[in-house]
């Protein structure tokens, strides 16, 4: 590895086995910034890039190669591999699908992927199933039990593969995450009537193994989502009991439950988990809550199964505003919050620094409320709209 000489248009070149990958950055991205994560070859090889300015024109560039990638570092729905989350839309009546390619609060492009008028096909998750650094789209038909995976390159469908059929429609996809730490997304299933849970360990569109984890017959316990809560590079599973307010996290190693830890009980079931993401950039997932009747929003800053702090962000009593996604839209390593108004089609993005709203920006209006943001990866947020 050798860095190129610093210029105004700064670039860092990394070489491996004759291949060259380049990371571009600006002066404004250097001073006072946290280390940047750089994936030059695959998500299985991570470089932490630390800039240290020692003079007005001189830089020290430190590289640390580390094969362990915390699952919380992977931007949610990053379809073009630029390290920034994008937004996947589906029209609920005509079946059109499109992607907003994002740079912070700016919509760079909004290409249509295709039109699938068969509305029985539902987007049940997004993730990087082939480890190329770009999000893919997972589909399930809940009427006939067919499953399909689109491997994506921005808005291009590189491959549309039929997965194993799961004809028992009581099996539901309730989470997508990298459970074995290989840099490729896997699929978490839960049976809606008998409480069995299992994981499909994936390599692209191939199911390598499908181990059963255990059976939780109490169907009031719902998988809310997945995230890497302890920063070991493997996804964990967040549960909430929608009748008692009990919360639990399973810290996972593939299909093995390393820890089954109870979190603080939130008895007021009007508190709903609205998103999971790394809000303080410690490479561990945190939990976003929203109160469904008074509009209070707060974040649990997590360290494994420990709630370090639970700051309130703000109160928005207009309950027509729904959290429809969390992701890192500006590439600063911190999760941001995407909002959509269910009645007028307005959209807003909060760029976050832990519990501080650094920017609240109105996005492009989508007044046709049949357009839905899909693939955000968190279950049981609000009634569908």
Give the whole-angstrom CA distance, residue 104 versus residue 83: 11
Which of 62-66, 120-124, 243-247 has the lowest average pLDDT?
62-66
pTM of the model: 0.83
d(CA 235, CA 246): 21
Over residues 39-45, mean pLDDT: 43
Please tell me the predicted confidence (pLDDT) of residue 12.
Answer: 52
Q: What pLDDT, on a 0 to 100 scale, did the predictor assign at position 378?
A: 55
- Please determine, for residue 305, whether its predicted confidence score (pLDDT) is greater than 90: yes
Section 45-49 average pLDDT = 47
pLDDT grade for 1, boundaries at 50, 70 and 90: very low
Indicate the pLDDT class of residue 380, thresholds 50, 70 and 90. Answer: very low
What average pLDDT score do residues 132-158 get?
Answer: 96
Residue range 89-117: mean pLDDT, rounded:
95
Per residue in 282-306, is it b (16+ CB within 10 Å) or e — as a string?
bbbbbbbbbbbeeebbbbbbbebbe
Please tell me the distance from the alpha carbon of residue 216 to that of residue 253, in angstroms, as a whole number.
19
10-35 residue pLDDT tens? 445 444 434 444 555 555 544 444 44
Please tell me whether residue 328 adopts helix, strand or coil conformation: coil
**Whole-number average pLDDT of the chain:** 85
Count CB atoms within 10 A of the CB of residue 55. Answer: 6
- pLDDT of the residue at 24: 52
Q: Provide, rounded to the nearest whole percent, the portion of the chain with pLDDT above 70.
A: 78
Do residues 186 and 176 make contact, with C-beta atoms less than 8 angstroms apart?
Answer: yes
Q: What pLDDT is stored for residue 376 in this prediction? A: 74
pLDDT of residue 40: 45
Q: Please determine, for residue 198, whether its predicted confidence score (pLDDT) is greater than 80.
A: yes
Paired tokens of 53? 């300015």
* Spatial separation of the C-alpha atoms in residues 87 and 89, rounded to whole Å: 6
Asked if pLDDT for residue 203 goes beyond 60, the answer is yes
Structure tokens at 138: 């997972």
Cβ-based neighbours of 363, under 8 Å, separated by 6 or more? 105, 107, 347, 348, 349
Integer Cα distance of 184 and 167 in angstroms: 25
Residue 54: predicted pLDDT: 43
333-371 residue pLDDT tens = 999 999 999 999 999 999 999 999 999 999 999 999 999
Structure tokens at 79: 């379809």
Residue 297 has pLDDT above 50, yes or no: yes
Confidence of residue 317 (pLDDT cuts 50, 70, 90): confident
Q: What average pLDDT does this structure show over 77-87?
A: 94
Q: Per DSSP, what are the bridge partners of residue 253?
A: 256
């Amino acid at each position: 590895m050798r860095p190129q000489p610093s210029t105004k248009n700064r670039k860092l070149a990394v070489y491996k086995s004759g291949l060259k990958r380049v990371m571009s950055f600006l002066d404004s991205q250097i001073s006072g910034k946290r280390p940047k994560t750089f994936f030059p070859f695959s998500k299985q090889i991570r470089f932490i890039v630390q800039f240290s300015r020692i003079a007005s024109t001189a830089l020290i560039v430190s590289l640390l190669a580390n094969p362990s990638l915390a699952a919380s570092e992977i931007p949610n729905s990053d379809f073009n591999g630029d390290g920034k989350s994008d937004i996947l839309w589906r029209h609920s009546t005509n079946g059109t699908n499109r992607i907003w390619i994002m740079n912070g609060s700016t919509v760079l492009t909004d290409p249509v992927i295709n039109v699938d008028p068969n509305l029985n096909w539902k987007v049940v998750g997004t993730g990087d199933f082939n480890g190329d650094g770009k999000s893919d789209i997972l589909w399930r038909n809940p009427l006939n039990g067919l499953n399909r995976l689109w491997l994506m390159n921005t808005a291009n469908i590189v491959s549309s593969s039929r997965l194993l059929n799961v004809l028992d429609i009581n099996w539901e996809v309730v989470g997508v995450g990298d459970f074995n730490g290989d840099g490729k997304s896997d699929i978490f299933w839960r049976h809606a009537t008998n409480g069995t849970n299992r994981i499909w360990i994936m390599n692209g569109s191939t199911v390598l193994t499908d181990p059963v984890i255990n059976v939780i017959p109490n169907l009031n316990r719902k998988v809310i989502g997945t995230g890497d809560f302890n920063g070991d590079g493997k996804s964990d599973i967040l549960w909430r009991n929608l009748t008692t307010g009990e919360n639990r996290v399973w810290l996972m190693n593939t299909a093995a439950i390393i820890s089954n830890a109870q979190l603080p009980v939130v008895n007021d079931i009007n508190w709903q988990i609205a998103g999971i993401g790394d809000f303080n950039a410690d490479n561990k997932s945190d939990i976003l809550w929203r109160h469904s009747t008074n509009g209070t929003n707060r974040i649990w800053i997590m360290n494994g199964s420990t709630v370090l702090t639970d700051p309130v962000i703000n109160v928005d009593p207009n309950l027509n505003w729904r959290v429809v996604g969390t992701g890192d839209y500006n590439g600063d390593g911190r999760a941001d919050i995407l909002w959509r108004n269910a009645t007028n089609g307005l959209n807003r993005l909060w760029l976050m620094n832990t519990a501080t709203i650094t920017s609240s920006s109105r996005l492009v209006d989508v007044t046709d409320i049949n357009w839905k943001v899909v693939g955000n990866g968190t279950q049981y947020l609000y009634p569908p709209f």
